[in-house]
A = this chain, B = another copy of it.
């Protein structure tokens, strides 16, 4: 767990508060409203390392030509988005990641940062760009060699060759190693024969496959000389210039989807389709004219994962796009909640602004905190991605860390996107259900992010396995003392009601009873200790539970693993949450403005406590929080919500969206204008002396 729990130091936020050693947070509404954030500085912080590219992309998509149309029939929407890709080419947006010899900038981080912003225009545009340049193009670039680059990259970049990324099959989604499509080498003609042996091996859910694709990068089992060398990627032309399938190629349209209907997803199948030997994208494995196979990576397993790892950028960019899309929904719902009034408070005053309701604060503010955490963790992911793909830090360890980090963060941010967008839409009531207010469209489009580019649960299981192997490696060659220490600590943790209850009694004694003092046990370093300790113990618990499996038969061992699958996935999720929390804290450490640091520290605390509250039962069962401290978590969240409420608009304004990005009438100020008009009407009516009296007041007389 190198990148998890072993953090040498926690940023000591309290040092950056105005009052030096003062407590983390102010304690009255007045104190709270004294601090405020430097909105522009926070925007810079959120936009991160490639802020300039993001701004450039946001400027470009102010053009309505890029905007998602509501209710447009699928066929038209597909053509519209195809046209937008050509517009992107005109803007040079397809060149950022390309090698310089093909006119590119070789700037991988900027490339993803720019593309992610397209989610604000139309997620179909973001994903179709991703299909063309991030998947199809990247397969040629990353899995191919110079001859392939020379031949196809220019056409891929300028959209003269729209292409599909033909990996997934109807019968195999996440389990790519098991795909059925074969590519059998024929030394007589020096060709590969691409073939779909049964219906389940049809390529499926491929963007650009239903209509626009002229070629595809097809993943297939490479067979030569009677040996299956596993999954490799082949460049296969599929349509002629008139859009008709080439001989032996067939397909189907996937039809209407839950969202992203600007993309022509479809199915492809191949009946003994012959491509030249050179069409094998041969960076990691090659077949000579005589059919002999060679690869620099001798282990078939490692070769497979290296090829797949070269395509990690899809996951990285989904993490970023989900984060930005979530921010948009939060901007809309928070702005509306700051203007919309509903019900008087019973105190005879004006109707209450939605965001002044305790429940409404509880609904939205922790989600803003979570979204901020995602911005910071995404920037870390993007920097790691850039380090590897620029070659600046391209080691096997860095690649493995990058893949683990992407596999940990993408599930969290994409699920959070759906939950948050849904909460935002519900927080806007009926208005939230209108397409014009954006949130339903965002939910529909981002829905599939949780199952594509790696199903979220499958990705988390990968992370879990990595955590287990890191955990096991701690004990390689460990001496008896170390193992004994482990046994004592972790057995106690696992049985939990011996040491657990004692710890619990202790912590009850540790803290007094005032509201203020309970916060002392939930500051930054305690938050970290709780979050990191949970990951450590969960991994240790699963590892302990799986240990007997090594002595069992394969099927019994599989059953033991299966019984702990949900637990392992939960451990991986905890790991991802910890990474987000750490990234948020590291981000705050860079802030120099005292007010900004103060407010964002409250927000980070809200994020930390929101996570702890979510898993409160675990902390209690495992004796890591006393009942008293656990109860304080919820109260502290309520206090933080009240403190942050005056800053809510600033926090969402700091996303830096302009009206052309928001486009939701309810977040345009129209609601405020309607409120003002209604208030003026009643005031004038009262002043006129012609207002009807209420029946109630009449009865009192």
Residues on A lying within 8 angstroms of B by beta carbon are 70-71, 73-74, 168, 170-175, 178, 180, 197-201, 204-205, 221, 223, 226-230, 254-259, 261, 293, 300, 342-349, 351, 356-359, 362, 418, 422, 425-426, 429-430, 432-436, 439-441, 443-444, 447-448, 450-452, 455-457, 496-497, 500-501, 505, 508, 553-555, 557-558, 561-566, 569, 613, 616-617, 620-623, 626-628, 630-631, 638, 673-675, 677-678, 681, 692-696, 698-699
Which of B226, B358, B435, B569 is within 8 Å of A256, CB to CB? B435
Closest CB of chain B to A308's CB: distance in Å? Answer: 15
Some 29 contacts from A to B, beta carbons below 8 A apart, are A170-B674, A171-B678, A173-B429, A178-B344, A199-B677, A227-B698, A255-B435, A257-B440, A258-B425, A258-B435, A258-B439, A300-B695, A300-B699, A345-B555, A345-B562, A348-B554, A358-B562, A425-B447, A426-B455, A430-B451, A433-B451, A440-B447, A566-B638, A616-B617, A616-B621, A617-B617, A617-B620, A620-B627, A620-B630
- Complexed CA–CA distance, A359 and B351 (Å): 47
- Complexed CA–CA distance, A204 and B418 (Å): 27
- Complexed CA–CA distance, A385 and B546 (Å): 53
Q: Please, which residues of chain B bring their CB within 8 A of the CB of A451?
A: 426, 429-430, 432-433
Q: Do residues B362 and A692 form an inter-chain contact, with CB atoms below 8 A?
A: no
Q: Do residues B345 and A558 form an inter-chain contact, with CB atoms below 8 A?
A: yes
State the main secondary structure of chain A at its contact with B.
helix
Q: Do residues A430 and B450 form an inter-chain contact, with CB atoms below 8 A?
A: no
Q: Do residues A230 and B695 form an inter-chain contact, with CB atoms below 8 A?
A: yes
Which of B173, B204, B692 is within 8 Å of A342, CB to CB? B173
Q: With CB as the reference atom, state the residue of chain B lying closest to A619.
A: B617
- Complexed CA–CA distance, A27 and B169 (Å): 39
Q: With CB as the reference atom, state the residue of chain B lying closest to A346.
A: B558
Q: Please, which residues of chain B bring their CB within 8 A of the CB of A450?
A: 426
Closest CB of chain B to A500's CB: distance in Å? Answer: 6
Closest CB of chain B to A490's CB: distance in Å? Answer: 16
- Complexed CA–CA distance, A696 and B302 (Å): 12
Which of B174, B197, B430, B627 is within 8 Å of A204, CB to CB? B430
For this chain, the copies found in one complex come to 2
Q: Do residues A555 and B674 form an inter-chain contact, with CB atoms below 8 A?
A: no
Q: Please, which residues of chain B bring their CB within 8 A of the CB of A425?
A: 258, 447
Q: Do residues B258 and A358 form an inter-chain contact, with CB atoms below 8 A?
A: no
Q: Do residues A677 and B621 form an inter-chain contact, with CB atoms below 8 A?
A: no
Please judge, given known A-B contacts A342-B174, A435-B257, A695-B300, whether A678 and B557 are in contact too, CB under 8 Å.
Answer: no
Which of B175, B554, B677 is within 8 Å of A346, CB to CB? B554
Closest CB of chain B to A455's CB: distance in Å? Answer: 6
Q: Do residues A627 and B496 form an inter-chain contact, with CB atoms below 8 A?
A: yes
- Complexed CA–CA distance, A425 and B257 (Å): 12
Please judge, given known A-B contacts A178-B343, A347-B558, whether A228 and B71 are in contact too, CB under 8 Å.
Answer: no
Q: Do residues B346 and A254 form an inter-chain contact, with CB atoms below 8 A?
A: no
- Complexed CA–CA distance, A91 and B392 (Å): 72
Closest CB of chain B to A428's CB: distance in Å? Answer: 8
Q: Do residues A257 and B434 form an inter-chain contact, with CB atoms below 8 A?
A: yes
Please judge, given known A-B contacts A257-B435, A429-B455, A620-B617, whether A223 and B346 are in contact too, CB under 8 Å.
Answer: no
Q: Please, which residues of chain B bring their CB within 8 A of the CB of A444?
A: 258, 440, 444
Which of B342, B422, B558 is within 8 Å of A172, CB to CB? B342
Please judge, given known A-B contacts A258-B444, A627-B496, whether A555 and B430 are in contact too, CB under 8 Å.
Answer: no
Which of B173, B198, B630 is within 8 Å of A674, CB to CB? B198
- Complexed CA–CA distance, A310 and B403 (Å): 59
Q: Please, which residues of chain B bring their CB within 8 A of the CB of A258?
A: 425, 433-435, 439-441, 443-444
Closest CB of chain B to A294's CB: distance in Å? Answer: 12
Q: Please, which residues of chain B bring their CB within 8 A of the CB of A627?
A: 496-497, 500-501, 620-623
- Complexed CA–CA distance, A293 and B695 (Å): 10
Q: Please, which residues of chain B bring their CB within 8 A of the CB of A293?
A: 695
Q: Do residues A418 and B422 form an inter-chain contact, with CB atoms below 8 A?
A: yes
Identify which of A508, A562, A626 gathers the most chain B CB atoms within 10 Å of its CB: A562
- Complexed CA–CA distance, A448 and B257 (Å): 19
Q: Do residues A200 and B674 form an inter-chain contact, with CB atoms below 8 A?
A: yes
Additional 17 contacts, C-beta under 8 A, given A174-B342, A227-B694, A230-B694: A71-B73, A71-B255, A173-B430, A201-B678, A227-B698, A229-B695, A230-B695, A256-B435, A258-B443, A259-B440, A348-B554, A359-B566, A418-B422, A433-B447, A496-B628, A500-B627, A622-B627
Q: Please, which residues of chain B bring their CB within 8 A of the CB of A566?
A: 358-359, 362, 638
Q: Please, which residues of chain B bring their CB within 8 A of the CB of A180?
A: 678, 681
Q: Do residues A674 and B358 form an inter-chain contact, with CB atoms below 8 A?
A: no
Q: Please, which residues of chain B bring their CB within 8 A of the CB of A256?
A: 70-71, 434-436
Q: Please, which residues of chain B bring their CB within 8 A of the CB of A553?
A: 347
